[in-house]
Amino acid sequence: MVDKDLLSIQETRALVRAARAAQPTLANAGQERVDALVEAIAKVGKEMAEELGKMANEETGFGKWEDKKLKNIQATEKLVEYYRGMKTIGILNEDKERKMVEIAAPMGVIAGLLPSTNPTSTTFYKAIISLKSGNAIVFSPHPSALKCITATVNVIKGVLKALELPEELVGCISVPTMQGTDELMKITDMILATGGNAMVKAAYSSGTPALGVGSGNVPAFIERSADVDVAIKKILASKTFDNGTVCASEQAIVTEACIADKVKASLIAQGGYFLEGEKLAKVKKVMERPNGSMNPAIVGRCAADIAKIAGIEIPAGTTMLVAEEEGVGPKFPFSKEKLTALLGFYTVNDWQEACELCYKLLHNGGLGHSMGIHSNNETVIREFALKKPVSRFLVNTPTTQGAVGISTSMAPSFTLGCGTVGGSATSENVGPHQLFNIRRMAYGLDEEATCTGASCGDGVDVQAVTNMIMEQLKKMSGTL
């Protein structure tokens, strides 16, 4: 009997070998053919968006299939539309005046680490940006989403076959193990890591270049000049999107005391329910594991499901469970990331205090990721934007849809860089331009602009200057 971990390692090696052999075919196919490939994947991906969304929801139990369908469309049609016309193959730019030519050089074989929260959309997204930039990709799927991820990979393979390109350009480990994933990270050329902090740290520690993302603990500040009802509508639209499984979703509302009652009333009117007393205590019990990490049993669940798990009654029509939190840190669970229908609530005296509190919340597991603000005061908006350690500062928009480029002009992406402050190699929404190197071909300039022999520039004798400096140094050393 073959051990599962050994089988996984062997399969991984075989997939990477096959991908490496196939990759030059794509790299040499030319921009037009590569673009035709990603356009075809986008078209089929959109057609399969609902079916794969339902499959992901059924297999993982996370989120809503309707929202997973939208994410699949964002990761195919919208992604390809955004990067349409971008040069990624061959000569990128030629500057005749400076005698410089820039040439795209694919990285080779990409390791795509996939989460269970956004499995099919992230598969499409990573495959498209990898292929667009002339690379092959091998996926390490989350075990709890293996079926839907494999189905998505098979859809992409079908497109490759139809266009007479090697199917081995996209591979997927069928026996996913930690050992197999570790091997994949060691023998590929670049890692695209989307998942928990442990996975991302492992990617950066593998010895292979990696693009990973940090966790999101997104605060949303509602400032006194905001339209409160509109702000709450947007926050709930964001937080309930796929039941909060996107790491850019809001985790806490921060608002000023002068409008706090209005914010609470609007929240309740639009489906929020404030937990208190025994009900709050019961929900807190099921929020986390003993080590303080998120309880996977409540991830991507609706408010009614969480209430059932906690054993409490909530009003019909409740879409969000809210708790007024007293502090920030390990002892305050509503101050942490909650990828589900749970939201913290804080009241402060003014925007300056809100600024400090949001900073603390970001330091509590969300550094470098995202933050939202709802305000019509441009001075306050700019003050926040200049000082907050985030890569995406989202103004008057749902942070989920804003961060991934649905409600803003940001690049469609399901790998959201957090910058060095968040332990990430980039602060961008990762795209195809980050998956190829640039080879620069530089021609020599005119002879009169270059140094020749012992002299250069305006006839300065370089050797004479050197000798003079050496004499000065000798004199100085004699006086020390």
Handedness of CA 46, 50, 56, 62 (dihedral sign): positive
Q: What is the 3-state secondary structure (H, E, C) of 225-292?
A: CCCHHHHHHHHHHHHCHHHHCCCCCEEEEEEEHHHHHHHHHHHHHCCEEECCHHHHHHHHHHHECCCC
Cβ atoms of 298 and 306 within 8 Å: the answer is yes
Closest CA to 218 of 70, 61, 404, 79: 404
Tokens representing residue 115 in the block: 């989460």
Strand partners of residue 437:
105
Q: Cα–Cα distances in Å, from 136 out to 131, 362, 376, 406?
A: 6, 36, 46, 27
DSSP secondary structure string, 441-480?
Answer: EE----GGGS-BTTEETTTEEHHHHHHHHHHHHHHHHHH-
Query: Within a 13 Å sphere around the CA of 369, how many CA atoms are in the beta-carbon half?
Result: 32
C-alpha–C-alpha distance, residues 425 and 190, integer Å:
12
Tokens representing residue 222 in the block: 């509602």
- Known active-site residue 247: yes
Tokens representing residue 301 in the block: 């669940």
Length of the chain: 480
- How many other β-carbons are positioned within 10 Å of the β-carbon of residue 61? 15
DSSP secondary structure letter of residue 329 = S
C-alpha–C-alpha distance, residues 135 and 142, integer Å:
22
- How many other β-carbons are positioned within 10 Å of the β-carbon of residue 472? 10
Amino acid at 277: G
Burial grade of 33 (CB within 10 A; 0-12, 13-18, 19 or more) = middle
Closest CA to 141 of 186, 171, 107: 171
Which residues have CB under 8 Å from 390's CB, separation 6+?
A: 362, 366, 368, 369, 370, 371
Residue in 247, 302, 358, 418 annotated catalytic: 247
C-alpha–C-alpha distance, residues 111 and 185, integer Å:
6
C-alpha–C-alpha distance, residues 224 and 351, integer Å:
9
Catalytic residues: 247
